[in-house]
Amino acid sequence: MKYIFVTGGVVSSLGKGLTAASIGTLLECSGLRVAFKKFDPYLNVDPGTMSPFQHGEVYVLDDGAETDLDLGHYERFTHAKLTKLSSGSSGQIYETILRRERAGDYLGQTVQVIPHVTDEIRCRFATSDTDADVTIIELGGTVGDMEGMPFLEAMRQFALEIGKNNTLFVHVVLLPYVRTADEIKTKPAQQSVALLLGLGIYPDILMCRTERKMTNEIRAKLSLFCNVPIRGVVEELDVESIYEVPTMLHDEGVHHIVLEHFGMASKNCDLSPWTNVLQKIRAPKKCVHIALVGKYVEHKDAYKSVHEALAHGAIANGFALEVVRIDGEMAEQEDIRGLLQECSGVIVPGGFGNRGIEGMLRAIRYVREQRLPFLGICLGMQLAVIEFARNVATLRAANSTEFDETTPHPVISLLDEQRRVVDKGGTMRLGSYECRVLPHTHLHQAYSQEFIHERHRHRYEFNGAYRDILMANGLCISGTHESGLVEAIELLQHPWFVGIQAHPEFKSKPHMAHPLFREFIRAAIRIKQV
């Protein structure tokens, strides 16, 4: 097993996750199997309890793990199998150690960061995916952060233990462009590498994030002062589409450097699925405008996978995509027709709490009545049910008990098992569940399958007590779990109106758009052409 460690320096938000994912793409396209791990130095046990405003989206895996959004990049860029063991945090590591300490398992020892915390981290580095050839391990945060130190120390020890030719260090840095000097600057990168060298970590690849091309002089300077061979100084330019990163790193020969370092024979790297995607992105027929009406719209990363899945849907239809982000609270106040004027479809994504809910309901009513394509995801589906109950089934005060505990018509409510839940962390309905799809529905037309599997992350459910009355009024229940839980609803007399309780956005890939997103975008394009 070979290991690649990816760290970041200078500033955060450099796209370390994308870089790690793209290295994975190159190795996979060279015929290797890759595995991924992401470690975050914060003390939360997982990001499940963190606000999307601060931390961006919580990405959910099949096994129900609530993880960092970088795992979404890994899944979109490769076929790696990710599980609960693919991510970790300081909180998780300390939780394990403290539990062990209370159980008396340390047999009288003083429990310390070194060796106990670093040993636990090293254990978690060692991969569980025994079929993989290479495991790529990304460390969140920036080198120099105090809380990241135990992870860097664990990396150094790990590399010493398994040998230099089995580990490769990639350090991602920013080369800022200083306009007044008309120059890109290398000093912050040098200082960041100096920190790493001081910790006993010698980067093999320096991934240089830059908005301008690097001259040979800059490359030579970085090589000399950062102690990285000149081939290992890699340019990672700002790009229009994130899906250009693998081809860009390919042109810089990153896969050759990695394979040579590991003593693996150089293989032909076939990036054709990626170049096909890029061709489609670069030559769209036209542009489709989709409104995203939600709670966290001003935070770019809060609906990361939804944005990506919409983009994949547009790529599959040969169109460019413009997402019009509309805050739910704004939709409460403003003229909804005016807000949605340019858009040929509306998506209401997941969310928690009642902020902006009435605005989202107004948008849903508008698209139902105006016959514009609609995709409701999780909260979006629950709101579509509420809107239908209120305005079609005339249950005027219908609501979810999440927003009004005393509603006379709780069309969305908690199951008993959720009522008993006390802790907030890790206690939602999480992970992949099977759903049976009703034939002759939009859902069936999209998936062409009787049984589908999608990932969940919610507490509230469609209340079965309202099933008959809503169906009698024309609501179609197009997907159900074997327990009888409603998984998807739609309006058959509408050009395209689908709500799904799960999060299909987590399973979309650029060259394999998720069928629901592909069909939603197709319906939106069709509406525009009519």
Decide if residue 60 touches ligand GLN (CB under 6 A).
Answer: no
Identify the residue among 227, 352, 391, 403 touching ligand GLN (CB under 6 A): 352
CB of 356 to ligand GLN, least distance (A): 12
Q: How far is the CB of 378 from ligand GLN (least distance, A)?
A: 3
Q: Does 378 bind ligand GLN (CB under 6 A)?
A: yes
For the question of residue 29 being annotated catalytic, the response is no
Contact in structure between 46 and 426 (CB atoms under 8 Å): yes
* Tokens describing residue 406: 């005393």
Question: 459 or 526, CB closer to ligand GLN?
Answer: 459
| 459 sits near ligand GLN (criterion: CB under 6 A) | yes
Report the residue number, 41 or 499, with the smaller CB distance to ligand GLN.
Answer: 499
Q: Which residue, 41 or 349, is less far from ligand GLN as judged by CB? A: 349
458 binds ligand GLN (CB under 6 A): yes
Among 75, 204, 402, 519, binds ligand GLN (CB under 6 A): 402
Widest CA span of the chain, in angstroms? 76
The residues near 51 (Cβ < 8 Å, ≥ 6 apart) are none
Distance CA 302, CA 261 (A): 37
DSSP letters, 392-413, are TS--TT-EETTT-TT-S-EEEE
Return phi, psi of residue 321, to 5°.
-125, 135
Q: Which of residues 455, 457, 494, 507 is near ligand GLN by CB under 6 A?
A: 457
What CA–CA distance (Å, rounded) separates 383 from 376? 8
Residue with tokens 């107004």: 362
Q: What is the C-alpha to C-alpha distance for residues 206 and 191, in angstroms, rounded to an integer?
A: 13
User: Is 476 designated active site?
Assistant: no
Distance CA 63, CA 408 (A): 36
- 351 contacts ligand GLN (rule: CB under 6 A): yes
CB of 242 to ligand GLN, least distance (A): 24
Judged by DSSP in three states, 364 sits in helix
Note whether 42 binds ligand GLN by CB under 6 A. no
Give the nearest residue (CB) to ligand GLN. Answer: 350
From candidates 9, 232, 350, 376, binder to ligand GLN by CB under 6 A: 350
Is 459 buried (19+), middle (13-18) or exposed (0-12) by CB count in 10 A?
Answer: middle
Q: Say whether residue 460 binds ligand GLN (CB under 6 A).
A: yes
Residue 484 DSSP SS3? coil
> Shortest distance, CB of residue 459 to ligand GLN, whole angstroms?
4
139 part of the interface to ligand GLN, by CB under 6 A: no
Q: Give the nearer residue to ligand GLN in terms of CB position, either 9 or 351.
A: 351
217-to-171, 186, 191, 213, 233 alpha-carbon distances in Å:
20, 11, 18, 11, 12
232 lines the binding site for ligand GLN (CB under 6 A): no
Closest CB 261 distance from ligand GLN, rounded Å: 42
C-beta of 80 vs 398, nearer to ligand GLN: 398
Q: Where are the beta strands (DSSP E) in 74-232?
A: 87-89, 134-139, 167-174, 177-178, 183-184, 205-210
- Catalytic residue (one of 378, 387, 476, 490): 378
The one segment of 147-155, 198-206, 309-317, 455-463 that binds ligand GLN by CB under 6 A: 455-463
State which H helix or E strand residue 294 sits in: strand 287-294
Q: Which of 456, 505, 514, 519 is catalytic?
A: 505
At position 516, the amino acid (one-letter code) is L
Q: Is 503 a catalytic residue?
A: yes
Binding part of the chain for ligand GLN, among 20-28, 114-122, 451-459, 464-472 by CB under 6 A, reads: 451-459
C-alpha span between 336 and 363 (Å, rounded): 7
Binding mask 260-299 for ligand GLN (x = CB under 6 A): ----------------------------------------
Q: Which residues are catalytic?
A: 378, 503, 505
Binding site for ligand GLN (CB under 6 A): 350-352, 378-379, 402, 457-460
